[in-house]
Amino acid sequence: MVERKVDSESRAFQRQWVTEYMFTDIAGKPVCLISGAKSRDKEDLKRVQRELRGLIRNGKDSYRQKMENQLQQNNVGEVWRGLRTISDHKHQNSLPGKDVRWANELNHFFNRFDSAMRQSPTSAADSPTPTAAVPPLTPQTLHTSSIHPAHSSPPPTTASNTHSTQGSSLSLSTTQVRRELRRIKAKKAAGPDGISSRVVRSCADQLCGVMEHLFNLSLRLGRVPQLWKTSCVVPVPKTSRPKDLNSYRPVALTSHLMKTLERLVLAQLRRLVSSSLDPLQFAYQPGIGADDAIIHLLHRSLAHLETAGSTVRIMFFDFSSAFNTILPSVLKDKLENSGVDHHLTTWILDYLTDRPQYVRTQGCVSDRVVCSTGAPQGTVLAPFLFTIYTADFSHNSTQCFLQKFSDDSAIVGLITDGDDKEYRGLTQDFVDWCQLNYLQINASKTKELVVDFRRHKHPPLQPLNIQGMDIEAVDSYRYLGVHLNNKLDWTHNSDALYRKGQSRLYLLRRLRSFGVEGPLLKTFYDSVVASAIFYGVVCWGGSISAGDRKRLNRLIRRASSVLGCPLDPVEVVSDRRMAAKLSSLMDNISHPMHETVTALSSSFSGRLRHPRCGTERFRRSFLPTAVRLYNKDFCS
């Protein structure tokens, strides 16, 4: 029994807060403890244990004070590393230790779509990888009401897309370059050029003139320096226990100078193509996020379910490495059709083609390969280029619509009396369009969620078939971080939030037992615990059951007792955030629900008319609840 206690105290020497003084002062004490236990010298044993506990306590206090000083100095990175050490948080290693052969295999796997494109014919009917037999496609075979073919003839020549002989219309100033250089985060990893982000940021005034000349020269010539578009790919595991090469996500590290130029190009590109973007694309839009996509989907679904005999079918598509399958030549046509000038599209095409890339893992670097397909993940332009790539397929009618959040696409069918013809037609059109544009749908991971509250469900709904495979209908699906089920009652989501909140509350207790308190502990709660409990609260805050609300509030009360200060319960946080979200919808004219909200404005006062609700399910959803909160604040 005594030896077990001695071993537990001896393990304290492995902690980071055990200082060098402690090792020097009592270097022989653990041996004395064990020998004392064997010789039954209890007095000596107690004395040494008492000294050891005092030294450990002093070491912890010193370590905590060090973190508090770092927090006051705004050194957030070191603070979080210290908190992970104290709480025993297992930080996932994103650089698995393998040999060079494994790194080369991984690099070729990440570049597999480029190899498939080189081997496949250039016909639009061919797909990069074999799929189910599909007849040859042409743009004329698709519904022109919802699709603008990638290879259709360009629009009439205008001033915006005329090939200028004087170079790109985008000209950067020294002030713009200096401002972007100063915005670089100082602690970001260096790219293949080895230039530190801290150096670039600190020397912004000295570098802005030179970089302004190089940036404008690159845009004018339509060429990107080879080193700037070289990618160092870091494999990040998708799961805690990767099983194969597909379990890793390729994240590219590129030059900070190139990222600065990308930000400047992105600002101009966003203005040029804003009118051509899909209005139901919720990603990478200012003031719009995942919450807005979920709110839009649920509002239209619940409003439709108010009608008798109605059902909702939602098809959640899964793509295989969507960013890596972008074909630059197809993207170039889409950019020019959107009004981007020839020189800028040529620059983007050069940026995406002939890109050297290599994989770096712990202790080894793979050979370099040249890639001319896809957009590297982790770069500034890649997400927005994918948005442009998928913008020419859109559909939004009273019975069916397609909404996107980057590569998370969902087709929602608002079906009445079992008439799902438009839903099936749109799904098939989207599958055909994806094949035409070299986007690979993973049919085995594509799922359908059917919401049907009818008492008599005759005849039963028939499954949809994609690429020769019947799509599985599931009871629950995780969409953009929240769990939706076929009853829309948020029980699955509440269970997931409760489990995650419990696990993170344990970390909070560990910190408190260490002696961490005050603003440092509150910061950890807000960033780690509260962010998990209140994720997507604007979507489910007014709709969860009383039992689920009590469970989550119980977690919050436990956290409050650990912090020693009162915390807002779920209903207070949800009301505050829903009111803020409604205000954001009313101010953002580009939001897909802006017209829906403004249509509720009263012509006699500044209040909003309450939507007509036939069921309690719809009345407790986001928009009716937010309207009641808005009118309550307006009256007060």
Closest by CA to 213, choosing from 260, 264, 171, 258, is 171
Q: What percent of the chain has pLDDT over 70?
A: 82
Q: For residue 516, what pLDDT is reported?
A: 78
- For the stretch 332-355, pLDDT in tens is 999 999 999 998 999 999 999 999
Residue 169: its pLDDT value, please? 67
pLDDT tens, 62-77? 877 787 777 777 676 7
DSSP secondary structure, 132-185, as one string: S------GGGS-TTTB--TTSPPPPP-TTTS--SS--S----HHHHHHHHHTS-
Residue 437 confidence class, pLDDT cut points 50, 70, 90: very high
Q: Say whether pLDDT at 295 is over 80.
A: yes
Residue 161's pLDDT is 39
pLDDT for residue 132: 35
Point out the least confidently predicted range of 234-238, 447-451, 546-550.
234-238
- Residue 418: which pLDDT band, with cuts at 50, 70 and 90? confident
Quick one: pLDDT at residue 603? Answer: 80
What is the pLDDT at residue 115? 65
pLDDT band at 265 (very low <50, low <70, confident <90, very high): very high
**HEC sequence for 369-413:** EEECCCCCCCCCCHHHHHHHHCCCECCECCCEEEEEECCEEEEEE
How do residues 600-629 score in pLDDT, each as one tens digit?
998 888 899 999 999 999 999 999 999 999
Radius of gyration of the chain (CA): 29
Question: Which residue carries 């694309």 as its tokens?
Answer: 281
| pLDDT tens figures, 172-206 | 999 999 999 999 988 888 999 999 999 999 999 99
Amino acid 168: pLDDT: 58
pLDDT of residue 497: 96
What would you measure as the largest C-alpha separation in the chain, in angstroms? Answer: 97
Global confidence as pTM:
0.82
Q: How confident is the model at residue 45 (pLDDT cuts 50, 70, 90)?
A: confident
User: What's the half-sphere exposure (Cβ side, CA atoms, 13 Å) at 304?
Assistant: 23
pLDDT of residue 583 exceeding 70:
yes
What pLDDT shows up at residue 153? 37
User: What pLDDT, on the 0 to 100 scale, is given for residue 409?
Assistant: 96
pLDDT at 6 over 50: no
> Is the pLDDT assigned to residue 10 strictly greater than 50?
no
Residue 356 has pLDDT above 90, yes or no: yes
**What's the rounded mean pLDDT across residues 134-139?**
35
Q: What is the pLDDT of residue 461?
A: 79
pLDDT computed for residue 608 by the predictor = 93
CB contact burial 402-438 (16+ within 10 A = b; e otherwise): bbbbbbbbbbbbbbeebebebbbebbebbbbbbbbbb
CA distance 611 to 619: 8
Residue 518 pLDDT level (bands cut at 50, 70, 90): confident
- DSSP code of residue 610: P
**What integer is the mean pLDDT of 397-413?**
95
Q: What is the per-residue pLDDT for 458?
A: 67
| CA 116/CA 131 separation, integer angstroms | 13
Q: Quick one: pLDDT at residue 165? A: 38
Lowest mean pLDDT among 65-69, 70-74, 138-142, 390-394: 138-142
Check the CA dihedral 336-342-344-345 and report its sign. Answer: positive
Q: Which of 586, 380, 445, 523 is nearest to 76 (CA)?
A: 523
C-alpha span between 227 and 254 (Å, rounded) = 9
pLDDT of residue 29: 45
User: What Å distances lie between residue 294 and 123, 209, 412, 479, 501, CA to CA?
Assistant: 37, 45, 12, 8, 22
Looking at residue 89, its pLDDT comes to 60
* pLDDT at 149 exceeding the cut of 90: no
Q: Please give the average per-residue pLDDT across 517-536, as a whole number.
A: 88
- Kindly report which listed range (188-192, 401-405, 520-524, 627-631) carries the lowest average pLDDT score: 520-524
